[in-house]
Amino acid sequence: MNSARFSGPANFAKAFLEFRKLRKRYLKPIDYLIESKGYLLWSPNCIEDAAHIPEVNRIGGNGYMTKRYSTLALLALGIMVLAFTPQAYAAATMDLCLTDTGTCSGGGDWVNFTSDGTTISGTASGTASGTGTLLGNNEISFTGTVGNANVTVDAGTTNAPGGTPTGQLSDLSYNDKYTGTSAETFTLIWSSLNFSPKSGFSLNGGGSLAAGSTVTTDACFSTANTLATSPCPLPANIGTLGPFSSTPYSGTVTTGATVSSTFEITQDVKLTFPAGTALQDTGDFSIDSSVPEPATVSLLGGILLLTVGVIRRRVQRT
């Protein structure tokens, strides 16, 4: 449920740590290519502590890279850090619904909390009671009771508009204990707005189940971009995991679906409990963006080609 909020030079160190993670994924093959040609664009020791970059850096076995060239390489790296650093997320619009009727409307036991990322408001029905809390500007959590479900903590997190090339968009976690005398389905619904256009999604998660319990989760998007208080229409256009009936459980489903306009994401989790006491179920499901945006891929490729080309030409002249 964590989300990075990097902004401004004061947080450059955090931004660079994020870059190092991305470098392992995207840039390691480029390192080998450059080093095999006798050119050294960067080294971990030098880059991690800019104060220790020497006036002259050794490259290969037949030349040197002057400070001017190492500065060029550092400039290119700085641009890539900015391109891949997670952006500060704007205050989110989001809704968390917990219900024993399948929706947060009409009768039955349910609680519903809505937030604009600054304030939070809630409504309840039946015997449901507890506390909804706004954490930061992108997460709602609830502790209390809904019908026969004793909620230790259920929480939804949104990373709208989804500023990273790939990464978590939405997350829904739960820790619930059932104490009813008859079988019941308890439903969690998490909805958030204003995601930017994307292509490719994955639904991932897992957890543990009490004996006799089952869990199913759905994920979907809607270009109507309005908050939902009911589960995803089936078949869910991002995907469905489950039903799981053994513990521990985990799963992943992916789709190449493309959304070309601003959209909303809904996650729902349906927990089916048998009759019993102290039946504890826990889990966490997230929706990730699995494909980088074309503009980001083009930017990265262009920077790499330009940097390698310029350094190669200049070194060859020496």
pLDDT tens readout for residues 33-60 = 333 333 333 334 333 333 443 433 333 4
β strands within 209-259, DSSP E: 214-222, 239-244, 249-259
pLDDT band at residue 296, thresholds of 50, 70 and 90? very low
Residue 233: asked if its preceding bond is cis (omega within 30°), the reply is: no
User: Are residue 262 and residue 144 in the same domain, yes or no?
Assistant: yes
If asked whether residues 157 and 62 sit together in one domain, one would say no
Is 174 within 8 Å of 271 (Cβ atoms)?
yes
pLDDT surpasses 90 at 249: yes
Q: Of 54, 87, 120, which closes a domain?
A: 87
What pLDDT is attached to residue 230?
A: 95
Q: 12-26 and 67-84 are packed helices; what angle lies between their axes, rounded to 10 degrees?
A: 90
Same-domain pairing of 56 and 120: no
What's the confidence (pLDDT) of residue 180?
Answer: 86
Burial class, 121, CB count within 10 angstroms (exposed 0-12 / middle 13-18 / buried 19+): exposed
The region that residue 287 occupies, defined by phi over 0 for left and psi between -120 and 50 for alpha, beta otherwise, is beta
Instruction: Please check whether residue 269 is in contact with residue 156, taking contact to mean a CB–CB distance below 8 angstroms.
Output: no
Q: Are residues 73 and 139 in the same domain?
A: no
Instruction: Give the pLDDT band (50/70/90) at residue 251.
Output: very high
Q: Is residue 195 part of a domain?
A: yes
| Paired sense of beta strands 167-178 and 184-195, if any | unpaired
Tell me: do 45 and 109 sit in the same domain: no
Regarding predicted confidence, which is higher, 33 or 69?
69
The residue with greater pLDDT, 278 or 271, is: 271
Residue 166's domain is classified under what CATH number? Answer: 2.60.120
Placement of tokens 């809704």 in the chain: 95
Q: Clarify whether residues 273 and 154 are in a common domain.
A: yes
Best-predicted range by mean pLDDT (58-67, 145-154, 270-279): 145-154
64 plus 207 within the same structural domain: no
pLDDT score of 266 more than 90: yes
Taking CA atoms, 284 is separated from 80, 175, 252, 314, in Å, by 32, 9, 12, 52
Q: How many domains does the chain have?
A: 2
- Listed residues 31, 63, 87: the one ending a domain: 87
Q: What percent of the chain is modeled with pLDDT above 70?
A: 61
Write phi, then psi, for 181 (nearest 5 degrees).
-100, 0
Residue 216 shares a structural domain with residue 277: yes
Entry pTM: 0.67
Residue 110 has pLDDT above 80, yes or no: yes
**Residues of the domain holding 31:** 9-87
Name the more confident of 278 and 73. Answer: 278
Burial class (CB in 10 A: 0-12, 13-18, 19+), 217: buried
CA distance 241 to 252: 7
